[in-house]
Structure 1
Amino acid sequence: MKLQRISALLAALMMAVPLVSMADDHHDRDHDRPDWDHPGYRHDEYRGVGPNHEWRRGGALPAEYRGDRYVVNDWRGHHLSEPPRGYHWVQVNGDYVLAAVATGIILDTLLTQ
């Protein structure tokens, strides 16, 4: 009698194991919540300070970056090509911009990640 009860209990437990493995994995990222999809809401809008990838060839380098503080004199040490006459490399955040010394017009950019 005791053996039958133990066998029945074991059989019931063995049948319950697949049900446990089918449990919710909690990887739904809360998409069932009513407030998860606001129009215009993006998760990546709140990134911190980083490289500015808005530099374009032919665009103007802002005046605050034209001072000697941002000029890269050791372009070889930064693995950059030699700037043509009248141009210099400027480092802003993680980006390198090749700009005209006189006007600040951008000739080339080297954008980092």
Structure 2
Amino acid sequence: MNILVKAIVLSFSTALVAAPAMAAPQDHYSQSHQIQNHHTAPVQQHQHAVHKKAVNPSHDWRVGQKVPTQYYGQSYKVDHKKFKKLSKPGKNQQWIKVNGDYVLTNVMSHKIIKIIGG
């Protein structure tokens, strides 16, 4: 019985050690395959790249539209006193700056009131 238990433990431990080793050649193949094709087909490697489009509020946003939630943070808020072209915001209004453009928003509804290009 003791020999049987040792044989089972040994076979399981061998399987656990062998599993990563069996996966390694596939990883090595894909890495070497990518390195080989790096010079011959650079366009193929960039097919799956995600390109995040930069937001241009004066072009992409409209008055009455809601400002996306990612622009609600303090880092986007602007003090109108520091910029001559910005009017004093009214009650529940706040200027934000996104990619060089200034956007006057309603802080309650987050709708755009005015957009001034930077």
The normalised TM-score by structure 1 is: 0.51
Task: Give the deviation of 1:51 after TM superposition.
Answer: 3.7
Does 2:96 match 1:90?
A: yes
Distance 2:82 2:111 in 1: 24
Q: Unaligned 5+ residue runs, structure 1?
A: 1-47
> Number of residue pairs matched?
64
Distance 2:71 2:54 in 1: 17
Distance 1:50 1:56 in 2: 13
Distance 2:63 2:99 in 1: 18
Please list every run of at least 4 consecutive aligned residues from structure 1 whose deviation after the TM superposition is greater than 6 angstroms: none
Distance 1:57 1:97 in 2: 9
Tell me which of 74, 77, 80 is aligned to 2:82: 77
Please, what is the CA RMSD of the aligned residues? 1.8
Task: Give the deviation of 1:55 after TM superposition.
Answer: 1.8
- Residues 1-113 of structure 1: matches in 2 within 5 Å? 51-52=56-57, 53-72=59-78, 74-79=79-84, 80-112=86-118
Q: Which has the larger radius of gyration?
A: 1
The normalised TM-score by structure 2 is: 0.49
In terms of fraction of residues, the more helix-rich structure is 2
Q: Percent of aligned pairs with the same residue?
A: 36
Q: Unaligned 5+ residue runs, structure 2?
A: 1-52
Q: Secondary structure at the match of 2:70?
A: helix
Distance 2:55 2:89 in 1: 25
